[in-house]
Amino acid sequence: MKIAIAYFSGYHGNTKKLLDAIVGLSDITLIDVVNCKEFNLSNYDIIGFASGIYFGSFNKKVLKFAENNLPNDKQVFLIHTYGVKGNYTKEIKKIIKEKNCKLLGIYGCRGFDTFGPFKLIGGIAKGHPNAKDIDGAISFFKKIIEK
């Protein structure tokens, strides 16, 4: 089974920490959307999108990558990190639906956040993602590939 994960992980590398923990579990191609704008995903069985949350949504580069590169009728999963818990997947879910893809699951956990006013207080969610968050990502991914 071939799996690709398109991701953006900036500032503190929270999302990349989760991906680094799961990359050895299967045949995974990681695609950094900062360095790669186009990628042929048609030969992949499962496609993941991973991002920190920026202004209440997945990073715009991940959204643009999904719009331009996600083939129709694929199996998709989402991974994200956030400072404050919320519903941040609306835009990416819309793209998935428009492409007639099946959403297999979503994993989100806290990540160290120093954006905007949080910087004034030294950030929030310090120490995240922690070992429990990483174990959660591993368990989530194992369930995705077992489906």
SS3 77: strand
pLDDT of res. 23: 93
pLDDT of res. 118: 56
Q: Give the pLDDT confidence of 13-43 residue by residue, as tens digits.
A: 789 999 999 998 998 999 999 999 999 999 9
Q: Which pTM does this prediction carry?
A: 0.92
Q: Give the pLDDT confidence of 83-140 residue by residue, as tens digits.
A: 678 888 999 999 999 999 999 999 998 775 556 555 555 654 566 689 999 999 999 9
pLDDT of res. 124: 47
Q: Which fold has domain 2-146?
A: Rossmann fold (3.40.50)
CA-based nearest residue to 84, from 122, 112, 49? 112
pLDDT of res. 48: 98
pLDDT of res. 120: 52
What are the backbone dihedrals phi and psi of residue 68, each rounded to the nearest 5 degrees, phi first?
-85, -25
Question: What value does the mean pLDDT take over residues 64-83?
Answer: 96
- Is the sign of the CA dihedral 15, 107, 43, 92 positive or negative? negative
